[in-house]
Every structure is written in structure tokens, then in C-alpha cells.
Copies of this chain bind each other. A is one copy, B any other.
């Protein structure tokens, strides 16, 4: 499989998991948290899922160190947690127990760095997720507080991860 094949599968897995996660939180109050904006593609997808026509509206908060997204994909200033997530997440007391869906994709090509970042962020994300809330993540975040959920059809084990907050 070429890197192009592999990249396409990763994006398809990401989309399928976000779509599935949306169904999973349908009956759960709470906001959406995008951990890292990047170019804004997944944020745009979340906007369609949670703020699109016919979609029941949810607030989407976005963490980003420095905004470099497509101009169409820049969140409103009052929904942006600007800065290092290791500082902004612990300071975001108003998000504690309020997140119904969080999404994380470290998004660099460095697997070891991605894993390390995911492990570091996990304890900062957990308190924000409400009971029953869902975490969709490209990087594994196994821990007792998170129950792994089955992946959508066509998504290979380990390619993406869905967890439910205990």
C-alpha cells in the first residue's frame, strides 16, 4: 500500500468515526471540542455535523496553538482556545463535564511524537468529557476511564479510535 493509499484510508476512517460519533452522542447534551484546528478540514466537517442545516445545533470549541487554517474554517474568537493545549485545557474550567464529543488527531507524520502528545493530553481531556461522552482520536488513548467502542465498518483496527467516557 502506498502512502497515498494509506493517507486516503486514514481520512476515510476519520470521517467514518466522526460520523459514527455524531450518532453516538445524539441523545447526550453537551458541546463539541476539536483538539487542534490545523487546516480546518475536520472542524469544517464537525460544523456540518453539528451546525449544518437540519443538524441539531451544538457549540464547537476549538483548541489551536496558532491559527493557520483556511480562512473559511477559522472558528469565532469566543469559541477558540488559543495557545498551547497543555495550558489552555487545564484553564478551561467552564468545559469540565460539558463535552459530549471530543476529537483529537495529532496530525503530524511522527508516530512517536503523536503517541507521546496523546498520552500527555489524555489526563487533560478526561475531566472535560461528560459521562457517556465520546472521544474520537487517531491516537490510542487507552485508560480505565475510557471504554473502547466498535469502529464503523471498513475501518481497520488501530487506524482510528472511538472511546466512551465511563
Please report A residues at the B interface, Cβ cutoff 8 Å. 2-5, 7-8, 11-12, 14-15, 18, 39-42, 44-45, 47-48, 70, 72-73, 109
Closest to A12 in B: B8
A3: chain B residues within 8 A (beta carbon): 39-41, 44-45, 70, 72-73
Q: In whole angstroms, what is the CA distance A60 to B130 when docked?
A: 52
Cβ A4 vs Cβ B44 within 8 A: yes
Cβ A70 vs Cβ B109 within 8 A: yes
Cβ A44 vs Cβ B2 within 8 A: yes
Q: Is the interface of A mostly helix, strand, loop or mixed?
A: helix
Q: How far is the CB of A101 from chain B (nearest CB, A)?
A: 15
Q: In whole angstroms, what is the CA distance A165 to B6 when docked?
A: 31
Given known A-B contacts A70-B109, A109-B70, A42 and B4 have beta carbons under 8 A apart: yes
A70: chain B residues within 8 A (beta carbon): 3, 109
A42: chain B residues within 8 A (beta carbon): 4
A2: chain B residues within 8 A (beta carbon): 41, 44-45, 47-48
A48: chain B residues within 8 A (beta carbon): 2
Q: In whole angstroms, what is the CA distance A13 to B40 when docked?
A: 21
Cβ B8 vs Cβ A11 within 8 A: yes
